[in-house]
Amino acid sequence: MTDTTRPVAAESARKMILPLALAQFIASYAATNMNVAISAIAKDLNTNVAGVQTAITLFTLTMAALMIPGSKLTDIWGRKRCFVGGLIVYGIGGLLALLAFGLPLLIIGYSLLEGVGSALMIPPIYILITVAFPDVKSRAKYFGVVSGAAGLGAAAGPLIGGLITSAISWRASFGLQVLVVAWIILLARKITEPAVSDARPPRFDITGAVLSAAGLFFLVLGLLQSRTYGFFVSRTDFKIGSTVVIPKGSISPVWLYVAIGVIFLAWFFLHVRSAERKGRDVLLPLRLFHKKIANLGLGTQTIQWLILQGSFFVVSVYLQEVNHYNAVKTGLMLTPATIGILAASAGADRFARRHPQRWLIIAGFLVTAIGMGLLLALVRANSGIGTWIPGLLLFGIGVGVMLTSSVNVVQSSFPEQDQGEISGLSRSVSNLGSSLGTALVGSVLVAVKLPAGRPFGVALIMMLVFALIGLVIAVLIPRGPGEVSDEAAPGQAPRDVTTAT
């Protein structure tokens, strides 16, 4: 497909940032706010905690499985249409969840429709910013806004959800989502999508969509199952019906799900290779994996979300189990991290003017690791808020810096015609990182038999190790001109996204 797009006017581009940031906020909020309302929902819907946890798990699975197919639809339907369509589906899902009288309707509204809506509306957020802002510095600024909204939604979800559930009802939380989505749809009318060529839109690869969705579904499901069965050794019998398939003490069934997911993903890549040789349109071109800088950027993205969600999970459970805080107080204690993420995201454009994106990722991992070290060194059971602030603040600053830079490196590594595919892939690895982070932490907290508080230390040390692994990957990102071209603005010379020049 010939790329004939042009960046939209600067004023129009700026107007689209608010709806994009709000959409990212509400999607991140939906992924974390439900955890503090599980008991209230179970009681109101006459079900049990396991049933509500299933609904939360299915939301994550739906979003993860459909992110790549959803991103491909942006090339077929158009970015703005896909974004607004996703909002509409999400809003209908929120309304059904608000009116749910039983668990099945909650699953249909929250787990399925909100999950599908998220998979449709999130990829266009990053694509529209990439094609609207041709230079790395402007992208860094607005990726920072969106990344800040994502971090704020994830961090503030438990606090806002806890406040609303305590003061009104869990249903009001879904009502809030519906109202915000309606507002975003109104704001989205101002989005001006860059014109595209009249070339035939690609055909939707149904086989590839099914295979990739199945692979990601089982992969994420396996990671989530570690909360029940453990990550390495099964803590309980794994049954299908009344038949024990894997007895307690044997290898965890997590790896059964992961193996099934890997088989589907391998089948998917074989299908793509075969289809490309025959000249057919595919869901995810293999050329996306040929750029070293993008592959390393995807690696840092995965680890960033792993340590973000894993560390938030560790801190939240520690505050509730050891310090006996309620959901609202726990959310307030996480405020320094939220402030750090927002402050770093707000400064993304200034950082990009002065420093290469590669160095920002390295600095982000370093600052994040220092923050984790301070938490391990200063925090003790029932210690005051002053022991938490330095570590959480530095953690948030580090995450805010590197999230924006990694997204910028990955998205800017490809021309406009590949933005649909790379955006879906980028969001998928972020979901995998988030799922892996909470899975590993949950497994450690249950498996480590040490005195009170020590399992949390072990889990945080594990997150620190992953931060150091991310640092190594960031150091390996190529530097210097010519490593990667940025073709968002036709007619301009290729630029190196690892530098600010």
Domain boundaries defined on the chain:
10-194+283-476, 205-282
Superfamily, domain 10-194+283-476: MFS general substrate transporter like domains (1.20.1250.20)
- pLDDT band of residue 411 (cuts 50, 70, 90) is confident
pLDDT surpasses 50 at 490: no
pLDDT surpasses 50 at 501: no
| Highest mean pLDDT out of 57-61, 121-125, 313-317 | 121-125
Supply the pLDDT for residue 488: 38
Distance CA 399, CA 37 (A): 27
**Mean pLDDT for the stretch of residues 301-318:** 88
- pLDDT band of residue 265 (cuts 50, 70, 90) is very high
Supply the pLDDT for residue 430: 87
**Mean pLDDT for the stretch of residues 266-281:** 94
pLDDT surpasses 90 at 100: yes
pTM: 0.82
Question: What is the residue-averaged pLDDT of the chain?
Answer: 84
More confident residue, 320 or 268: 268
The pLDDT tens digits of the residues spanning 370-397 come to 999 999 999 887 788 889 999 999 999 9
The pLDDT tens digits of the residues spanning 413-461 come to 888 888 888 888 988 888 888 888 877 887 777 665 544 557 888 889 9
Return left, alpha or beta for 279; rule: phi > 0 is left, psi -120 to 50 is alpha, else beta: left
To which H or E segment does residue 94 belong? helix 79-98
- pLDDT band of residue 4 (cuts 50, 70, 90) is very low
Distance CA 236, CA 249 (A): 7
Residue 32 makes CB contacts below 8 A (sequence gap 6+) with: 153, 154, 155, 157, 158, 161
- pLDDT band of residue 486 (cuts 50, 70, 90) is very low
Express as a percent the part of the chain with pLDDT over 90: 39
Supply the pLDDT for residue 449: 53
pLDDT surpasses 50 at 212: yes
Distance CA 26, CA 32 (A): 10
Distance CA 213, CA 218 (A): 9
**Mean pLDDT for the stretch of residues 165-188:** 92
pLDDT surpasses 80 at 482: no
**Of 208-212, 323-327, 355-359, 416-420, which range is least confident?**
323-327
pLDDT surpasses 90 at 69: yes
Strands (E), 272-420: none
More confident residue, 224 or 465: 465
pLDDT surpasses 50 at 401: yes
> Nearest-CA neighbor of 304 among 128, 167, 433?
433
**Which residue carries 């809003």 as its tokens?**
91
pLDDT surpasses 90 at 323: no
| Highest mean pLDDT out of 191-205, 318-332, 445-459 | 318-332
**Residue 103 contacts residue 45 (beta carbons within 8 Å):** yes
**Mean pLDDT for the stretch of residues 17-26:** 93
pLDDT surpasses 60 at 485: no
Structure tokens at 247: 């007895």
Supply the pLDDT for residue 348: 76
> Nearest-CA neighbor of 268 among 68, 57, 76, 415?
68
> Nearest-CA neighbor of 382 among 329, 449, 420?
329
Distance CA 17, CA 60 (A): 25
Supply the pLDDT for residue 448: 59
**Of 65-74, 281-290, 317-326, 464-473, which range is least confident?**
317-326
Distance CA 228, CA 250 (A): 14
pLDDT surpasses 50 at 489: no
**Mean pLDDT for the stretch of residues 389-412:** 90
Supply the pLDDT for residue 333: 85
More confident residue, 41 or 266: 266
Distance CA 112, CA 105 (A): 10
Distance CA 501, CA 493 (A): 12
**Mean pLDDT for the stretch of residues 97-118:** 94
To which H or E segment does residue 244 belong? strand 243-246
